[in-house]
């Protein structure tokens, strides 16, 4: 059966105040908590319903300030965040959440402008879904992000060129100093350290790091740029994450200057 699609537009309101109350949490031991932030009550109800049936504990908020209050009271394992919110927009909410702790964020947007999507990634969103979307697809995206957010097992710390990544602890350092990485930045750096000296195209990185065989490849470009800004001594002349023209990117463990 074809899945319903969440509409891009917002239905007319009857003047009632938005419903920001969280639905009753599911009694699932160890269930991840997801905060859904959207001022469109219909969209929020659909998303919360699908996530609840998938086994997640779901909180809801209809505006940025309420979202921050709910997050402070019960810190979520992931936030599904609409970009277009009244007052404080989704970008500012994402910035404030990321300033507090590294919580994964999946951003929702009805906008088709690539600049909006890139800006969302720049402020720390780990993934995005453009309205209208299939709720089942959103659940799969949430599952993928949360799965990658879990501490890694079966592998020890990875070290090269002064950079150390500990997958089990989800901790990364450079020359002993902690690196403040988002979920995807951490996964991308860990992947590079596992495969030093090998060039990967953006399609390869999307598949291996994001776990998707399709998607906007500018997502990879933005994350490469953000990661360079955190691990390179001079991001304008990268020595660790090098561009391989016509192919993609390569992690150079020796830190020798490459093609930029």
DSSP string computed for 54-71? TT-EEEEESSHHHHHHHH
33-149: CATH homologous superfamily? Response regulator (3.40.50.2300)
- pTM (2 decimals)? 0.64
Name every residue whose Cβ is closer than 8 Å to that of residue 160 and which is 6 or more positions away in sequence.
193, 196, 251, 253
Task: Return the top range by mean pLDDT from 11-15, 24-28, 209-213, 238-242.
Answer: 238-242
The segment(s) of the chain belonging to CATH 3.40.50.2300 are 33-149
pLDDT digits (tens, 9 = 90+) for 120-169: 777 778 888 888 888 888 998 898 888 777 655 446 788 998 999 998 88
Residues 24-52 have a mean pLDDT of 81
The closest alpha carbon to 99, from 119, 118, 71, belongs to 71
What CATH number has the domain spanning 158-251? 1.10.10.10
Q: Which two tokens stand for residue 249?
A: 């990117």
pLDDT digits (tens, 9 = 90+) for 192-201: 999 999 999 9
Q: What pLDDT score does 28 carry?
A: 42
Q: CA 219 to CA 64: how far, in whole Å? A: 24
The segment(s) of the chain belonging to CATH 1.10.10.10 are 158-251
Q: How confident is the model at residue 7 (pLDDT cuts 50, 70, 90)?
A: low
Q: What pLDDT score does 111 carry?
A: 63
Q: How confident is the model at residue 16 (pLDDT cuts 50, 70, 90)?
A: very low
pLDDT digits (tens, 9 = 90+) for 41-62: 999 999 999 999 999 999 999 9
Long-range contacts at 205-209 (CB < 8 A, ≥ 24 apart): 205/248, 205/249, 209/184
The pair phi, psi for residue 67, each rounded to 5°, is -60, -45
């Amino acid at each position: 059966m074809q899945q319903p699609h969440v509409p891009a537009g917002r239905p007319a309101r009857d003047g009632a105040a938005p419903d920001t109350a969280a639905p009753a949490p599911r009694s699932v031991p160890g269930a991840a908590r997801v905060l859904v932030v959207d001022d469109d009550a219909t969209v929020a109800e659909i998303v919360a319903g699908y996530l609840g049936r998938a086994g997640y504990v779901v909180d809801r908020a209809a505006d940025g300030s309420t979202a921050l209050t709910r997050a402070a009271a019960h810190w979520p394992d992931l936030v599904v965040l609409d970009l277009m919110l009244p007052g404080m927009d989704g970008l500012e909410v994402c910035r404030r959440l990321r300033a507090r702790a590294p919580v994964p964020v999946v951003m929702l947007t009805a906008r088709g402008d690539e600049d909006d999507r890139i800006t969302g990634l720049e402020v720390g969103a780990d993934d995005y879904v453009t309205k209208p979307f299939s709720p089942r697809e959103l659940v799969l995206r949430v599952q993928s992000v949360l799965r990658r957010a879990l501490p890694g097992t079966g592998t020890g710390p990875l070290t090269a060129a002064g950079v150390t990544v500990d997958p089990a602890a989800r901790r990364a350092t450079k020359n002993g100093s902690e690196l403040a990485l988002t979920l995807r930045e951490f996964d991308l750096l860990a992947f590079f350290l596992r495969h030093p000296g090998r060039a990967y195209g953006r399609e390869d990185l999307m598949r291996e790091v994001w776990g998707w065989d399709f998607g906007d490849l500018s997502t990879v470009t933005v994350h490469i740029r953000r990661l360079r800004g955190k691990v390179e001594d001079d991001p304008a002349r990268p020595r660790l994450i090098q561009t391989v023209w016509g192919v993609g990117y390569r992690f150079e463990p020796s830190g020798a200057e490459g093609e930029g």
